[in-house]
């Protein structure tokens, strides 16, 4: 068994859709980023890569590479899972904390967990999603962040 930890944050921006965990969230702003800015999938991908000692997504998906501009973060999680498989590891469970003062996310937990479980081929009960507000003390009120911890097991 191996444990991995990941973190990501992006600023909210007008004119972009808000995607968290591969789920479209109805909100007037989305996350600015070189890809689609999905902080949940980015943090989760980094946690998976960390657990199998395969680096981080910033190396493979550089923000100065035009080929990855606007990339759907589902491709990033696929890559992380493929790296785990090459390391003879698979995801056992993930615990995710989304930090956002806006929008309120508690009604989206189940859809985010379902989306991630489908992408990672694990039961929804293996994915924990929760959110916290900080009143601007940890991340800007105009940003969203995510912390992820995962447990991988040998195949």
Q: Where are the domains of the chain?
A: 2-154
Distance CA 76, CA 130 (A): 22
If you count them, how many residues does the chain have?
Answer: 155
Distance CA 100, CA 118 (A): 24
Nearest to 38 by CA among 52, 59, 24, 55: 24
Model confidence, pTM: 0.95
Topology given in CATH for the domain delimited by 2-154: 60s Ribosomal Protein L30; Chain: A; (3.30.1330)
pLDDT one-digit tens code per residue, 81-136: 999 999 999 999 999 999 999 999 999 999 999 999 999 999 999 999 999 998 87
Distance from chain centroid for Cα 16: 17
Distance CA 93, CA 151 (A): 5
């Amino acid at each position: 068994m191996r444990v991995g930890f990941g973190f990501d944050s992006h600023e909210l921006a007008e004119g972009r859709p808000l995607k968290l965990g591969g789920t479209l969230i109805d909100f007037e702003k989305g996350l600015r980023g070189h890809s689609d800015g999905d902080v949940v999938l980015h943090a989760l991908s980094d946690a998976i890569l960390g657990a199998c000692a395969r680096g981080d997504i910033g190396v493979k998906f550089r923000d100065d590479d035009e080929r990855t501009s606007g990339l759907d973060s589902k491709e990033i999680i696929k890559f992380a899972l493929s790296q785990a498989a090459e390391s003879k590891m698979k995801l056992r469970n993930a615990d995710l904390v989304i930090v956002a003062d806006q929008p309120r996310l508690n009604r989206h937990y189940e859809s985010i967990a379902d989306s991630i479980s489908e992408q990672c081929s694990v039961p929804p009960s293996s994915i924990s999603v929760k959110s916290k507000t900080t009143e601007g003390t940890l991340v800007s009120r105009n940003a969203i962040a995510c912390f992820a911890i995962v447990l991988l097991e040998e195949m």
